[in-house]
Amino acid sequence: MESESKEKHIRNTLSVCPECLKLLSAEVFERDGKVWIRKSCPEHGKFEDLYWGSYEMYKRAEKFARDGRGLKNPQIEKENPVCPFDCGLCKKHKSHTALANIAVTNRCDLTCWYCFYFAKRMGYVYEPALGMIREMLSKLRSERPVPCNAVQITGGEPTLRKDLIEIIKICKEEGFDHVQLNTNGIRLSQNPELAKKVRGAGVNTVYLSFDGLTPKTNPKNHWEIPGVLENCRNAGLGVVLVPTLIKGVNDHELGDMIRFGFKNNDVIRGVNIQPVSLVGRMPRKERNKYRITIPDVIQRIEEQTNGEIAKEDFYPVPSVMPVTNFVEALTGKAEYALSAHFACGMATYVFNDNGKMLPVTRFIDVEGLLEYLDVLGNEIKAGKRNKYISSIRLLFKLDSFIDREKAPKGFSIKKMLFNALVRHNYRALGAFHERSLFIGMMHFQDLYNYDVERVKRCVIHYAIPEGKIVPFCAFNVIPDRYRESSQEKYGIKIPEWEKKTGKKLNEDLYKRDIKALEKSPLYKKTYKGFLKKKR
């Protein structure tokens, strides 16, 4: 280990002990060009873990840090709440819910070795009734000043619920504009009508588990992916591929995952990478073996796409806050804000340029545009500029941020931006999304790299039956306090569930015919150009 004299202090924060969950003081620091987090428990000793794999990228991302306004009506009224042990949300939380998760079951039709979250291992079945689901959705919509407008139906495997279509309809009835379905895709691959019903009921996007191109890296649903894409394509359902990325396991396929999404961009809208969260007790040597951070992912993308997508093309989640600031200045009210911590995630968009991937940053001066919007928004809010005149100024100024020679042909970037920013016609963004592939990553925390400052700014939350709304990295990282205690309380023991339903829990388990699936023309067509070099 390097001596502490070669370390550079970045900031202090709070974390938790991975053994006893005691709240601890922690230090975020730089060493050897990387960012680390260190804490010490009086009982269990010192813990040190990689926080971000590049200090240079950390400093660049930090420039875009900006807090949201939190909630006017937090669910937790405790005078001095302690983060992350009094979640619900509380007055210390700095972001509204940008995307809510509603877990509708803990049953699954797969038994993935790395999954700790399904009924058999928990010993009970958790499936909230429709009325309870509506109450959770209503609680999310009651947030002020910005009601939650995006929800993800998750599990377990939500397609196991016979009343899934009714659940989707309830989401729309409660006023959610955007509804995602988080699934392994098994049932969607087998049932074209299910895909159509899901779309018809109101789902915008299928959030599809996808850990690689080969049976080795993606044993979960490799053989079913072709059917999922085909059925979603025919149903008009957009798909986001969601790889859980593990160093040394599937990170060598990152470039091909993105190329696969790019090839199928008529149905695949994005690739949203989740660097693995290391759950359970794990020695440092083992953590180092599997740990991969956001800068590491971006470096591999640059290497594996031969520079078509570079690290400079990625921006942290809160980089879009100037857009919110400008729109708020025009509307005079609080607007949807992605005020996550800058270290939580990064993203970019790529367009098709004669078969090559063209990042949006190559034809739009992203930073220049964001800076201009921020200044304009601040001046309008301060009463220094008339918002109508400012809108006209923006219309003429937009040209200076767009390189028309490099921009993809076929639609007007300027018109799309103006309609979205000034006229608030967000359907204008449809052409943008249809022509581009979103590439993003969100690194959810674990007990070793836990930073309370990130939890306070979390924008992805879970609604639970108790009427609480819990940040993702509290709900899943401290499951005994939130996820499992809540779901066990509202769940029923497996024998009771089996007696009530007249079926065995394992009846839902999926059994595939690999040979038949691999012989299908659709399988060969979908993976053409990707499997040959892998096998």
pTM: 0.96
Chain-centre distance of CA 519, in angstroms?
34
Residue with tokens 């992912």: 297
Give the torsion sign (CA, 384, 386, 389, 393): positive
- pLDDT score of 425: 73
Residues of the chain short of pLDDT 70, as ranges, are 1-5, 114, 116-117, 426, 532-535
Q: What confidence score (pLDDT) does residue 427 get?
A: 72
What is the domain partition of the chain in residue ranges? 4-62, 98-276+491-501+510-535, 306-442
| Residue 218 backbone phi and psi in degrees, to 5 | -135, 65
Cα separation, 95 vs 70, whole angstroms: 4
CB 494 within 8 A of CB 124: yes
**Cα 500 from Cα 505, distance rounded (Å):** 12
Tokens of 296: 């590491």
Note the pLDDT tens digit of each residue in 92-148: 999 999 999 999 999 999 988 767 667 778 899 999 999 999 999 999 999 999 999
How far is Cα 509 from Cα 512, in angstroms, rounded to an integer? Answer: 10
Q: Is the dihedral of CA 168, 171, 173, 178 positive or negative?
A: negative
Q: What is the pLDDT of residue 3?
A: 47
Task: Name the helix (H) or strand (E) containing 258.
Answer: helix 254-263
For the stretch 420-461, pLDDT in tens is 888 877 677 777 888 899 999 999 999 999 999 999 999 999
pLDDT at 411: 79
Q: Are 365 and 404 in contact (CB under 8 A)?
A: no
Do residues 240 and 438 touch, judged by C-beta distance below 8 A?
Answer: yes
> What CA–CA distance (Å, rounded) separates 390 from 138?
37
Residue located via tokens 């509307």: 331
Whole-number pLDDT of residue 2: 46
Among candidate residues 21, 64, 100, the one with its CA nearest the CA of residue 315: 64
Domain 98-276+491-501+510-535 fold is TIM Barrel (3.20.20)
Which long-range contacts (C-beta less than 8 Å, at least 24 apart) are formed by 464-467? 464/136, 465/128, 465/132, 465/135, 465/136, 465/489, 465/490, 467/75, 467/135, 467/136, 467/139
Q: Characterize the bridge pairing of strands 150-154 and 178-183.
A: parallel
Listed in sequence order, the residues at least 6 apart from 133 whose beta carbon sits closer than 8 Å to its beta carbon are 102, 104, 167, 170
Tokens of 482: 């939130």
Which residues on neighbouring strands pair with residue 15, listed in sequence order?
24
Sign of the four-CA dihedral 37, 38, 41, 47: positive
Residue 4: the pLDDT is 54
